[in-house]
Amino acid sequence: MFRPTRAVFAAAAAHAKYTANVARGVNRLSSAILASGKGSYVETTEGKRLLDFTSGIGVTCLGHAHPKVSEAAAKQCMTLVHGQCSIAHHAPGLELIDRLLPLMPDASLDTFFFSSTGAEAVENAMKLARAATGKQNIIVMRGGYHGRSVGTMALTTSKTVYSAGFFPLMPGVYPTTFPYWHQMGLPVDTPPAELAQKALFDLSLILSQQSSGKDTAAIIIEPVLGEGGYVPVSPEYMRGLREVCDKHGILLICDEVQSGFLRTGKYFATEYSGVRPDIMVMAKGIANGFPLSAIASRRELMDKQSPGSVGGTYAGNAVACAAAVAVADAFKEERILENVQARSRQLFDSLNTLRSNPYVLDVRGAGLMVATEFASPTPPAGDIFVNAQAPKSMASRVSARCLEKGMLLLTTSVFETVRFIPPLNISEQEMAEGCSIFKEAVEEVVKEG
């Protein structure tokens, strides 16, 4: 068991008075100040040890302060901290390409551009799609999340909080239905093929009524809807999307920011459908907490962008790339895929025991990207969702109770959903601890009514 030094706690506690000076627009699960983290746990300045089932929203995929990743980053800090992409190549970036090429879901994804954040990578994917096709419009999935920058806010439809007050947004964006039963007002047990058929019909209307194929550069989709509720897309829908894109000369962008790098039990969630994306977006788990993102595409598409049309001051930072190389090596050396599969079975087995509870509507996900959706509380008259004045929702209450019991667990979407994003190398014992805390929290919240 790790124990941070008293000096670490004292230094962090000394800064507590400055929390009032942090931007109010940031929302937090907890007001605690984190002092340190190791593996699946973090510790606060007050000495409270918390099991982390958030992983920084999927970022610290190998847990906090993974020794090999941290060592690689520290070593790189002593040689070259930053080699700006518009000036020259650097070794860690080229080594990272060598590691990524064999992992791509399709061999045609052979050319990369590295940036710093998921939103930045999404914007670069949009730029590439427009440059490669000569078209401008983008079709997005209802409930999708692609970032909070000025451009990506227009693509994000999971919650209005991300864009409220910031209009006008980027034009040329058209939402279509994601094949999620709750979005369609259908029963939870609606067959995936039926959901796919209805969603593809809605897409056909978008293309015939709002944005023709001649004007549509790309369709962007998360293979597992993230902020929209951790809903895996069906292979039927992905295959249908591929056919639509091929028919109209539209590029298919797969946003794997949250679902990539073994999070769903495969290196990338698109592998479940076998569908080839034209552009793939990556971030989060790529570098275990160091700021790095990327897009991958075909060389023939990437070559249509003029030199100087893409870049960024911190794009593909050398230290972050060195960390990402170490992550890729750790995946193999530490047999992370096998652990994800085993711990996923353990998590689903535990969550499925709650299905008999009338408050539990659904348990879903893939790998260690898993959600439990609860029945929504009765909404105020005239409002289909709970507003800020309504009593706390089931999901929020369960999350808060988990925090009281020593576990960080996030909610997601406008529906009553909690999401499980533990480290990919979480142990059997740690997973059992988290499952026990969650079960107790649900039982207590249900009992309270």
How long, in residues, is the chain? 449
Q: Which residues contact 308 (CB under 8 A, 6 or more apart)?
A: 86
What is the Cα–Cα distance from 377 to 356, expressed in whole angstroms? 18
Extended beta strands in 39-153, E state: 41-44, 49-52, 111-115, 137-141
Q: Is residue 214 part of a domain?
A: yes
pLDDT value for 21: 86
Q: What is the pLDDT of residue 110?
A: 97
* Averaged pLDDT, groups of 10, the chain, 449 residues long: 61 74 86 91 93 97 98 98 95 98 96 98 98 98 96 96 92 97 91 97 98 98 97 97 98 98 98 97 98 98 95 96 98 98 98 92 97 73 38 84 97 95 98 98 89
- 257 with 340, same domain: the answer is no
271 and 124 in a common domain: yes
Considering the domain architecture, whether residues 292 and 144 belong to the same structural domain is answered as: yes
User: Among candidates 172, 283, 277, 286, which has minimal Cα distance to 233?
Assistant: 277
Last residue of a domain, one of 273, 301, 333: 333
pLDDT at 392: 62
Which positions ≥6 away from 103 have C-beta within 8 Å? 267, 268, 328
188: closest CA among 180, 200, 198? 180
How would DSSP label each residue in 361-382?
A: EEEEEETTEEEEEEPPPPPPTT
**Predicted pLDDT of residue 384:** 41
Structure tokens at 321: 């790339």
- Give the pLDDT confidence score for residue 389 in this predicted structure: 34
Digit-coded pLDDT (tens) for 183-212: 899 999 999 999 999 999 999 999 999 999
Which single residue is written with the structure tokens 């000025």? Answer: 150
Phi first, then psi: what are they for 322, rounded to 5°?
-65, -40
**Domain limit, last residue, from 333, 366, 400:** 333
Q: How many domains does the chain have?
A: 2
* DSSP element (H, E) containing 184: helix 181-184
Residue 214 to residue 153: CA distance in whole angstroms: 24
Would you say 270 and 233 are in contact if contact means Cβ atoms under 8 Å apart? no
Domain boundary among 303, 333, 363: 333
Q: What is the CATH number of the domain that holds 304?
A: 3.40.640.10
Residues 276 and 339 occupy one common structural domain: no
Comparing CA positions, the residue from 59, 56, 234 lying closest to residue 141 is 234
Proportion of the chain in helix, strand, coil states, percent, rounded to 5? 40, 15, 45
352: CATH: 3.90.1150.10
- Scanning the structure block, which residue is given the tokens 């209450």? 397
pTM: 0.94
Q: Are residues 189 and 256 in the same domain?
A: yes
Range of the domain at 430: 52-62+335-448
